[in-house]
Amino acid sequence: MNPKHYARRIFLQKSALAIGAAALPKWAAFAATSTQYTRVEWQNFKNTSHYSSLLNAISAMRANTNASDKNSWSYWSNAHYNYCPHGIPYFLAWHRGFLYYFEKQLRTISGDSNLVLPYWDYYSYAQMPAEFTDSSTGNPLYVSRVNTDVYNALTMAPFASTIINFPNGSSNAFEPTYESAPHDPVHDIIGGVMGSMHSPSDPIFWLHHCNTDRLWVAWFAAGGGRNMPSKTSSYWNGSFTYSSIQSIQRRYTYDTTTNLYYTYDNKYMPTGLPPTVQREPHIIRVQASSVGTPALPPIVNFQQNAAHNTSDSTYSLGGVLNVGLDEHSISAQLPISSESSKVIQTIASGNSASVAGSATQYKSVLIVLDDLQMTPSGAQGGYYYKIYLNLPPAGDTAAPAEAQLIGTLGPFKISGAAHHGDRPMLRYVITKTLVGLSASQIASLTLSFIRINGKNSPQGPAIGIGEARVELTTEDVQS
């Protein structure tokens, strides 16, 4: 079916449109007479006249094979691949500008001056909207995916009252916490192209990132001591690049209304995880926001690597080599000497420290996963791993899981790391996680990889880690 005919068919199926413009939500009428636009959730958006505009615009863009043309689908995928910052500062602000420019292009292509990007509120609807899973010929919203339910990617951690700072690099910060989860795991669980830096090729990417942007707005609006660098802070100096002819000043992305002229119909943080449907029909269970600290998975005896310099500003206290991850959860005990344990304790207490034979003062402790690789099936996604330090043998259903959780690992994060270097490497700051640990607890430091699957996930080898090590750095990094 011709994509335009598909869009027309869907348009006519919407009974809400048949009764005239008077039935449209207030935001649509407001957008027609004001420079301020309001982005709405997909379930509301699809019942407006702008739905067919979006389908037609995406159809036209996907049919355009000129990747250097802003009217093509590939142009925007390439912009993300070439310029997006992941795992580093400005992840949220860069993507805010990216959405802004893409939305403007949709209006140009569709001829609909009031078209907005909708968002997918997966904290209310963990199942991907049906319009994106309809494989009918000509549906511009459909691509092949591993999963369409992202429930297992979700967490309430970014919305905790203790997450009051914003930028990557600061403690208790929203940006790195949200990026670690749910952002990255949503990419991982969906899989396919969503698990790569070409993820904008999947139309659901745009709804995922609109929701990410909305939740940033909601987090700041919630107050309670939550703060961002002020508008006049040097943090907002400079600009973001999207192509050789497209950039935006960072300060424009401080908020959505002052310079970008849009807002959201819902500016509230989620209060809990959504219902999840069990295998038995018509039975729905609401899962608590924390299931407690998991039990320690089996310890695998990997080859150990001794302490050594890793750069002028970093030093490895020891690690394990050739760690293989598959569908099982595993643990690895890291070789930390009693002398190194004391160094770690000193840094965890807030002081700098040096190692024997060196005057270099180290300020932070990291877990580094170096030389990351994926198998072909692993790269397709459908899963990710939660990474913990020193889990108890029997678990603790009462303790918050976040206490020993240091981050996540999956195809999307590895794809981002590979995108920024020939030898993919990821760093996880653990300085604060080590506070209060005894020397004996540090000497038996154990790294656990807890496998989290979507409804469909690969079996067998998925991810290889050349070395997992404890590393000291002269940087004073918090996240």
Domains defined for the chain, CATH in brackets: 3-275 (1.10.1280.10), 303-473 (2.60.120)
Strands (E) in 202-264, as ranges, are 239-243, 246-249, 262-264
pLDDT of 101 reads 98
Cis bond upstream, residue 182 (ω within 30)? yes
Q: At what angle do helices 91-110 and 73-83 cross, to 10 degrees?
A: 170
Question: Which residues of the chain have a pLDDT value below 70?
Answer: 1-34, 276-291, 420-421
Whether the model pTM is above 0.85: yes
Rg (C-alpha) for the chain, rounded Å, is 23
pLDDT of 35 reads 74
pLDDT of 400 reads 78
Q: b/e string for 50-70 if b means 16 or more Cβ within 10 A?
A: bbbbbbbbbbbbbebeeeeeb
- Asked whether the beta carbons of 150 and 452 are under 8 A apart, the reply is no
Closest by CA position to 207, among listed 139, 119, 147: 119
Reading the block at residue 213, the tokens are 């942007």
pLDDT of 405 reads 96
- Asked whether the beta carbons of 471 and 310 are under 8 A apart, the reply is yes
Write out the H or E segment, with its range, that includes residue 276: strand 275-277
Distance CA 478, CA 430 (A): 8
| Token pair 């500062």: residue | 89
DSSP structure string for 398-428? SS-GGGSEEEEE-HHHHHHHHHT-SS-EEEE
Distance CA 336, CA 175 (A): 31
Amino acid symbol at 478: Q
Distance CA 323, CA 318 (A): 14
Amino acid symbol at 95: H
Write out the H or E segment, with its range, that includes residue 37: strand 37-39
Q: How does pLDDT run across 17-46, given as a tens digit for each residue?
A: 333 333 333 333 333 445 799 999 999 999
Distance CA 215, CA 209 (A): 10
pLDDT of 34 reads 53
Distance CA 348, CA 334 (A): 18
Q: At what angle do helices 50-63 and 73-83 cross, to 10 degrees?
A: 80
Length of the chain: 479
Alpha helices per DSSP H over 331-456 = 338-348, 376-379, 411-419, 439-443
Amino acid symbol at 74: S
